[in-house]
Every structure is written in structure tokens, then in C-alpha cells.
Amino acid sequence: MKKIISIICAAILSISLMGQQELISSGDSAYKQELYTEAITQYETVLEQGYESAELYYNLGNAYFNINNLPAAILNYERARVLAPGDADIQFNLKIANSMITDKIEAVPEIFYVRWWKSLRNSINLHSWTITSITVFALLLLCAGLFFLARNMFLRKIAFWTGIVFVLLSLAVFSMTYTKYDMQSKHLEAIVFDPTITIKSSPNQLGKDLFVIHEGTKVYIIEEINDWCNIVIANGSDGWLPSSSIKRI
């Protein structure tokens, strides 16, 4: 009985994957014919079915870019970058799209080690950090085993000092992995979709007007209360806006 259920599940999964691939191919074909709206429909349908990839988000971003929907293009380029941080094409197209939006916000200068830490964290995706964490921890266990089991004093010394290095490395890698996971799971970054939005001093329309930002601007979510998000932008300015005015990366 279990075998039959497994076969049925495998068949359903196979059919689902075939259907998704067919939609992607249909979207690619529409894109090549410059039928961008049709391509968007096909790509979005695949995403609604639970499948995602850097290439799919990248192609969807390109389709939105070609119909001048910059917020949607930037959102999908950012989502593609999460899955493939080192992809040069994604980085280039995202840079082009960002150069075309209204807001040109100068980022607050960061201390060099904070900048280095963020750069390293964002250099690879969450899956790669997870594999790295497991590998480093396995090497740490290997050093611990060698230290306790080896009879040769020289080998034990090597295992001890190498183990110390791997302890420190494990702490750093685990920290990178956790912060990467935390950002992705909570979707703490978002793109503004309203053409113009006034940032408030409190989570309601009665709050004082602080500043104005426009569609396509990237914001970082600090907290959320009811239907309002407390956000900060690249220059350090913060305030509240309606949750409906942004889409999370």
C-alpha cells in the first residue's frame, strides 16, 4: 500500500513539475516575441504554484522592466539576488532599474568591519551558508575526536589548536547563517509600490508628516503594528507607512 502511495505521489509531483516547466517555456517564448504581459502571467502562475528560482525571478523582473513597471522589476531582481547573490547579470539589471527611480538616497557610511561583514554575509545564498555551517561543524567534531582519541601528543596539540580555530570559525559562520535566515524568513526588506507615500511619525494617518518617498525605493522593516510598518531607508531616516504600500522581498 505504501509503495502504491509513493508511486502516486511521485507521479503527481512529476506532472506538476512538467506543468511548471511548460509554463516557464511558454513565458520564455512570449518574452522573446515581446509579449511581456503574457510572459508575466505565465511566470507569476509558476510562482503561485510554489516554484521559485533566481532565473525565474530574473526573467520576470526583465518582463516588468520592459513594460516600465519599475517597482515590480526591482522587487523581482531583489528576489533573484537573494537566491543568486553573485550573479553579475542580476546585479547589473538591478543597478539599471534603481538608477531610473525617483529617489536617489545616499546610504549612511558604515564602519569598515560592518561593511565587510554584510558583504561577506550577502556573498552567497542561505543554502550555501547552511552547507558551510554543517561542514565547519563536522570538521570541529573531527578535531575533537582526534584530540580525545589520538595517543600521539603532537597530533593532540595540532587537533587542539585547529579545533580552537574551528570553534571561532563556527561561531562566525553560524552567526552569518542565522542572520541570513532571519532576514529571509521574516522578509525584513521591501520595495515601495505606491507612486508617492508620505512617511508618518506614528502608525496612523494622524501622525506628523516626516518625509516622502516614491515607488521603487527599498526600505528595511523594523517592526509592524496592525496595518502599519516602521521602516528605515538607506540614509537612516525612519517612520511609519501603511503595509499595503510595500511588497516584501
List the grid coordinates of 174.
553560524
Looking at 99, 128, 154, which one is the last position of a domain? 99
pLDDT single digits (tens) 233-244:
999 999 999 999
**One-letter amino acid for residue 27 of the chain:** G
Q: Which residue has the higher pLDDT, 194 or 7?
A: 194
Does 17 score more than 70 pLDDT? Answer: no
Q: What is the pLDDT of residues 21-46, one digit of tens each?
A: 999 999 999 999 999 999 999 999 99
pLDDT in tens, 134-174: 999 999 999 999 999 998 999 999 999 999 999 999 999 99
Question: How do strand 218-225 and strand 238-242 relate by DSSP bridges?
Answer: unpaired
pLDDT at 12: 45
Look up residue 109 and give its DSSP letter.
P
Amino acid identity, position 169: L
Whole-angstrom distance between the N-terminal and C-terminal Cα of the chain? 42
Judged by DSSP in three states, 19 sits in helix
Rounded to the nearest 10°, the torsion over CA 6, 11, 15, 18 is 90
Q: Where residue 58 falls among pLDDT bands split at 50, 70, 90?
A: very high
- Which of 74, 99, 124 terminates a domain? The answer is 99
230 occurs within a structural domain: yes
Residue 24 CA to residue 22 CA, distance in Å, equals 5
> CATH number, domain at 232?
2.30.30.40
Domain count, the chain: 3
In the predicted structure, residue 109 carries a pLDDT above the cut 80: yes
Instruction: Provide the CATH number for the domain around residue 26.
Output: 1.25.40.10
Task: Specify whether 123 is located in the same domain as 203.
Answer: no
Domain membership of residue 178 as a residue range: 112-186
Same domain, 27 and 73: yes
Q: How far apart are CA 33 and CA 174, in angstroms?
A: 46
Domain boundary among 149, 170, 186: 186
Residue 18: pLDDT band with limits 50, 70, 90 = low
- Does residue 11 have a pLDDT over 80? no
Whether residue 88 sits in one domain with residue 14: yes
Q: Both 47 and 128 in a single domain?
A: no
Pairing between β-strand 189-192 and β-strand 218-225 as defined by DSSP bridges = antiparallel
> What rounded mean pLDDT belongs to the chain?
92
Closest among 238, 233, 249 to 106, alpha carbons compared? 233
User: Would 157 be classed as within a structural domain?
Assistant: yes
Residue 48 has pLDDT above 80, yes or no: yes
Residue 10 has pLDDT above 70, yes or no: no
Give the count of alpha carbons within 13 A of 195, CB side only. 0
Q: 82-101 pLDDT, tens per residue?
A: 999 989 999 999 999 999 99
- 7/93 same-domain check: yes
Confidence of residue 112 (pLDDT cuts 50, 70, 90): confident
Calpha distance 65→95 (Å, rounded): 12
